[in-house]
Amino acid sequence: MSRRKSRFLRKPVEPFVVEPNGSANDVLTKMERVSFQGRNLAIARRIWERMLASDATIFLGIAGALSAGGMRLVIAHLIDQRYIDCLVSTGANLYHDLHETRGRRHFMATPGVDDAALAAERIDRVYDTLASEDEFCKNDEWIASFALKLERRAYTTRECLYKLGEHLWKETEHHGILTAAYRANIPVFCPAIADSSIGMGLSQARHRDAAAGQIDTIGDIIESANIVIRRPSTASIVLGGGTPKNFINQASVQAEFYDDRVSGHRFAIQIVTDVPHFGGASGSSLEEAQSWGKLSIESEKVTVQADVTVALPLLATALDSTARELASKRKRPDFDASGRQLVVNGQPLPEHRYQEA
């Protein structure tokens, strides 16, 4: 029996002590010394702070029904405060954001509600959340009308979504994800736009005019990799997995192909409910991402296995309590996302080409 403490037994778990009227920041700070996913969530805030203290461009990926589920103004806040620099989203999150920015709502339901009754009333259900299908159809038409105002050429999703945010802001002056991104002039990518109601709206523009609704998602691949090539370092924050998770990682892999100074994201946070052992990308581990060069071997990283609607309100509130100054002083990239070519720190990225070293 050893008399000296093992090197493995250095840092004790500190039991969480409940204090009434404690702040979210206090709660998350104390969670740094507990175990399991509570600890991981608390570590996520500290890694996020280190991202902000570094020179990294911070990508945020969002998947799952976060906008319908009440998280859209949290995402907008992360953009406003520049806790992130570039958004990669599923189409649904942007669509449900647009729905609310246009003054419509999602509604609370209970899981046991009868879907036949909902179908009869043309109400669409997302687990415990409802929306009017008629309002959705009007959104689709509104998107089609927007698309018919664009030039008859292919747009990257980044350029198209900038225009969409601009149009929304001018029409509504309401706060939301798309309008916040427009006003902050940061790029928003939507690699699977064809798999969403935004894509459906664009297709309805096409139905009216065969030359409308052209989207160049291959251009998005090049542009996102060029962001990585251009910047000294990058960071990845993933909420929910899905196509945004892979797209952010792919940007790093593709960038490395053209510029071998790139060697993976330097920081990574993911909050997911999927698990690694079925082999799917959403649940894949950050360690696995290192084998691909998606993350650097030295990256600081944490996976939090939790529903975003449980984890993000606490995380964002605690971050906002401690990181405002970090965010205001950070070396962040300066984007102009309004044109055909994305401009980074005053220099346009090449169009249709990877920037080579």
Burial of 336 (0-12, 13-18, 19+ CB in 10 A): middle
User: Least distance in Å: CB of 200 to a copy of itself?
Assistant: 6
From 20-28, 52-60, 180-188, 340-348, give the range in contact with a copy of itself by CB under 8 A. Answer: 20-28
Does the annotation count 331 as an active-site position?
A: no
Judge whether 276 and 284 are in contact, CB under 8 Å. Answer: yes
Q: Cβ closer to a copy of itself: 19 or 334?
A: 19
Q: Which is nearer to a copy of itself, 57 or 284 (CB)?
A: 284
Per CB under 8 A, the segment of 49-57, 209-217, 228-236, 340-348 that binds a copy of itself is 209-217
Whole-number minimum distance, CB 20 to a copy of itself, in Å? 4
Q: Tell me how far the alpha carbon of residue 49 is from its chain's centroid.
A: 17
Among 170, 171, 218, 331, binds a copy of itself (CB under 8 A): 218
Q: With CA atoms as reference, report the closest residue to 98 among 200, 13, 237.
A: 200
| Residue 49 touching a copy of itself (CB under 8 A) | no
73 interacts with a copy of itself by CB under 8 A: yes
Q: What is the b/e burial string over 236-273, where b = at least 16 CB atoms within 10 angstroms of the residue's CB?
A: bbbbbbbbbbbbbbbbbbbbbebbeebbbbbbbbbbbe
Question: Per rule CB under 8 A, is residue 309 in the interface with a copy of itself?
Answer: yes
Residue 140's identity, in one-letter code, is D
37 binds a copy of itself, rule: CB under 8 A: yes
Query: Amino acid letter at 31?
Result: M
107 binds a copy of itself (CB under 8 A): yes
Interface with a copy of itself (CB under 8 A), residue from 170, 174, 331, 353: 353
Count of chain residues binding a copy of itself (CB under 8 A): 148
Which one of 145, 172, 217, 341 is in contact with a copy of itself (CB under 8 A)?
A: 217
Sequential DSSP letters for 217-257: HHHHHHHHHHHHHHSSEEEEEEES-HHHHHHHHHHHHHHHH
Of 58, 60, 92, 229, which one interacts with a copy of itself (CB under 8 A)? 92
> How far is Cα of residue 178 from the mean position of the Cα atoms in its chain?
12
Task: Name the active-site residue from 30, 294, 301, 329.
Answer: 294
Q: Does 53 help bind a copy of itself (rule: CB under 8 A)?
A: no
310 binds a copy of itself (CB under 8 A): yes
- With respect to a copy of itself, which residue has the nearer C-beta, 53 or 123? 123
Considering beta carbons, is residue 233 or 254 the nearer one to a copy of itself?
254
- 9 near a copy of itself, judged by CB under 8 A: yes
Pairing outcome for strands 86-89 and 233-239: unpaired
3-state secondary structure 24-65: HHHHHHHHCCCCHHHHHHHHHHHHHHHHHHCCEEEEEEECCC
Contact status: 82 vs a copy of itself (CB under 8 A):
no
Choose between 53 and 281: whose C-beta lies nearer to a copy of itself.
Answer: 281
Assess 152 for contact with a copy of itself (CB under 8 A). Answer: no
Handedness of CA 328, 239, 44, 70 (dihedral sign): positive
Let me know how long the chain is. Answer: 357
| Contact with a copy of itself (CB under 8 A) among 62, 68, 79, 238 | 68
Q: Which of residues 227-286 bind a copy of itself (CB under 8 A)?
A: 240, 242-243, 246-247, 250, 253-254, 257, 273-282, 284
Distance CA 162, CA 339 (A): 9
Active site residues: 294
